[in-house]
Amino acid sequence: MPSFQSVQLNLLKVTFLIAGFAILANNSTVFSQLAPPVAAKKPKTDIIHGDVRVDDYFWLREKSNPEVVNYLKAENAYAEQMLAETKPLQEQLYKEMLGRIKETDLSVPYRYGDYYYYSRTEQGKQYAIQCRKKGALEAVEEVTLDLNKMAEGKTFMSLGAYEVSDDGNLLAFSTDSTGFRVYNLQIKNLRTGEMLSDHAEDVGSVFWAADNKTLFYTTKDAAKRSYRLYRHVLGSDRYDLLYEEKDERFNVYGGRTRSKAYLLAYTSSLTTTEARFLPANTPMSEWQLLAPRKQEREFDIDHHGEQFYIRVNDTGKNFRLVSAPVSDPSEQNWKELVPQREEVMLEGLDCFANHYVLYERKNGLQQIGITDFTTGASHYIEFPEPVYTAFASTNREWNTNLLRYNYQSLVTPGSIYDYEVSTRKSILLKQNEVLGGYEPTQYRSERIYATAKDGTRIPISLVYKKGFKQDGSAPLLFSAYGSYGAPAFVNFSSNRLSLLDRGFVVAIGHIRGGGDLGKAWHEQGRMLTKMNTFTDFIACAEHLIAQKYTAKDRLIIEGGSAGGLLMGAVTNLRPDLFKAVLSHVPFVDVINTMLDESLPLTVAEFEEWGNPKKKEEYDYIKQYCPYTNLAAKNYPTMLVKTSFNDSQVMYWEPAKYVAKMRALKTDQNPLLFVINMGAGHGGASGRYDRLREIALDYAFMLQQVGMGVNVAP
């Protein structure tokens, strides 16, 4: 059994090899013989439902333990050495991707009150600069926040809330400087630049009342659950606790309607919603219950005139639209405007002064429908491609004839449009520039269908460069997510061109557990039907091979977070099907995590994964839990990535997973583990640092298909 001393010895070996890199950099034989770090086994035994569980690597949870930190550093050093031959390629990929980006750029300004707000980037700076101009775009620029200055001396910086008071004088904002999702609230006087003394720690939602001095915000508990709603009048020492949610399945969040007339506060689980409202001009009055919680009833609300508009799933899983009088919004007064439709998922709602907008999904594609309040006439925005993504952009104005939306596809860069409701015309405001001569006609996208083991047709979106030969010779990157009802977006990526230009096909699986084909699609891949998510993915991979888009020895799969769970499950089920696996912040220790109610997300997610304290649900989770099902067999080459400060999937899940797989696997394929020691769930926060991470991922993929040294596309 390996001891801590052997771990230290391996670390010393790795350190020695780093020191000798100048001599050994081109000697791939040396790297192939390099022994990986070995984590000590310290068995911890638990019994649940009569099932004896032994966890040899539970000790890796000890974040402050130097032995843990040394092990993670040894893994980083080992991965760096194993990927040493790809260093020139990583640099080439980084330069390619950077060369396609307009480093000094400007977002499309949006109007809010008397100001136009926008962000801009400057060459060489990691973060966006938040700005505004009063009255006209020709006015003098005011910098409201410069995250580059705020990030000085820090390895991570993320902007959370960014809310300006109605008079435009005060900015309430929150930032996280660790990656652990601890967003602290500050108030800035935009007239003077002064930071006020008012503050709060670990906040979620932040929203203003109409008096320009009363602020509402939510705070989180130790498990990162937003559970309290506070009210604070600026300049006072009172931070009034208005509501505390006791049920650990529920989170508290809130906001203000676009009409500015009402404040809304929700308490919501993954399946059930409750809401309260308050006139924005009477912030000291009592919140009123708008709709109480009923198990399995979800909704969200907007406002227009004397009515609330409610998107609700009370008559069907795909939601309907109802109105309710503000004077008495109780359920008996609801009036149906749009019924629940089996073929259409109603995903969202926005109200404006003269019309409302419905965001829908039909046949896996998004639709944007607009209805006139006066006439009741409805129409849809038309989109030019058969497969695309379209969603609302920033729409802060209430009385407007314009709807701003984002449109993109696998071959069309992200584009911001203003849609004129009266003329039904879309006006292109900005399309993200792809520097270096990108030509969309040189790439092709398509949608195909695989057949799942139960006969269900599973959509797959594909993109590749013109000239692709469907003969099984092409390398293919296949990614999917398949959880929480989240659809897999067919988005554009200029970074992806570095793979496509080297002959890769890129495929996205719209598997069950996601929301691609409505709520039923989610229901068929959660709780006691979760196995569908994994078998759908395998069916898609087999179809891609059978149709000769790729071959087993050319197929690379990728997923992150719950998509990392997907990677772990399918790799256990069919390790022979994939050449290599790239797994980001993977949720792989499902049983142990869902048994620990002190961890972030655990209790709230019983309604997604199940509660292993219930025997039926424990038995089902045990079928697919990646960590539990690791076995002595051959596995494909793997690159597992995590962040030390991840609060959503703790670093120790992938750490334990890698350690256990190393001890069990019977193959000689590399197993690499890369840990960002200064970031959270999303990886690096700086845009240049993020490109470096992607360059490493792509270099790993190219290395696995024999292109790891060739730097030219």
Spell out the residues 6+ positions from residue 22 whose beta carbon is closer than 8 angstroms to its own.
Answer: none
* Radius of gyration over every alpha carbon of the chain, rounded to an integer in angstroms: 26
CB-CB contact of 430 with 414 (8 Å): no
**For residues 120 and 56, what is the distance between their CA atoms, to the nearest angstrom?**
49
**For residues 478 and 537, what is the distance between their CA atoms, to the nearest angstrom?**
9
Q: Could you tell me if residue 654 is inside a domain?
A: yes
Q: Could you tell me if residue 683 is inside a domain?
A: yes
Q: In which residue ranges of the chain is pLDDT below 50?
A: 1-32
Instruction: Give me the pLDDT at residue 9, please.
Output: 32
CA-based torsion, 584, 589, 595, 599: positive or negative: negative
CA-based torsion, 249, 563, 159, 73: positive or negative: positive
Instruction: Give me the pLDDT at residue 21, please.
Output: 30
Cross-strand bridge partners of residue 52: 47
Q: Could you tell me if residue 67 is inside a domain?
A: no
> Which of 39, 22, 44, 41 has the alpha carbon at shortest distance from 73?
39
**For residues 461 and 511, what is the distance between their CA atoms, to the nearest angstrom?**
11
Q: Could you tell me if residue 404 is inside a domain?
A: no
Domain carrying residue 586: 86-98+443-704
Instruction: Give me the pLDDT at residue 422, please.
Output: 95
**For residues 526 and 311, what is the distance between their CA atoms, to the nearest angstrom?**
23
- Summarize pLDDT for 159-185 with one digit per residue, the tens: 999 999 999 999 999 999 999 999 999
**For residues 290 and 279, what is the distance between their CA atoms, to the nearest angstrom?**
12
Residue written as token pair 């199940």: 610
Identify the DSSP state of 647. S
Q: Could you tell me if residue 672 is inside a domain?
A: yes
Q: How far apart are the first and last CA of the chain?
A: 46
Q: What is the pTM of this model?
A: 0.93
Give the torsion through C-alpha atoms of 36, 39, 40, 45, to 10 deg.
-140
Structural element, H or E, at residue 558: strand 555-560
Q: Could you tell me if residue 181 is inside a domain?
A: no
Q: What is the number of domains present in the chain?
A: 1
Residue positions annotated with a catalytic role: 561, 646, 681
Q: Could you tell me if residue 321 is inside a domain?
A: no
Instruction: Give me the pLDDT at residue 14, please.
Output: 34
**For residues 429 and 137, what is the distance between their CA atoms, to the nearest angstrom?**
14
**For residues 456 and 450, what is the distance between their CA atoms, to the nearest angstrom?**
8
CATH number reported for the structural domain that contains residue 474 in this entry: 3.40.50.1820
Instruction: Give me the pLDDT at residue 1, please.
Output: 32
Instruction: Give me the pLDDT at residue 352, please.
Output: 98
Instruction: Give me the pLDDT at residue 710, please.
Output: 60
Burial letters 106-121, b for 16+ CB under 10 A, else e:
ebbbbebbebbbbbbb
Cross-strand bridge partners of residue 676: 643
Q: Could you tell me if residue 677 is inside a domain?
A: yes
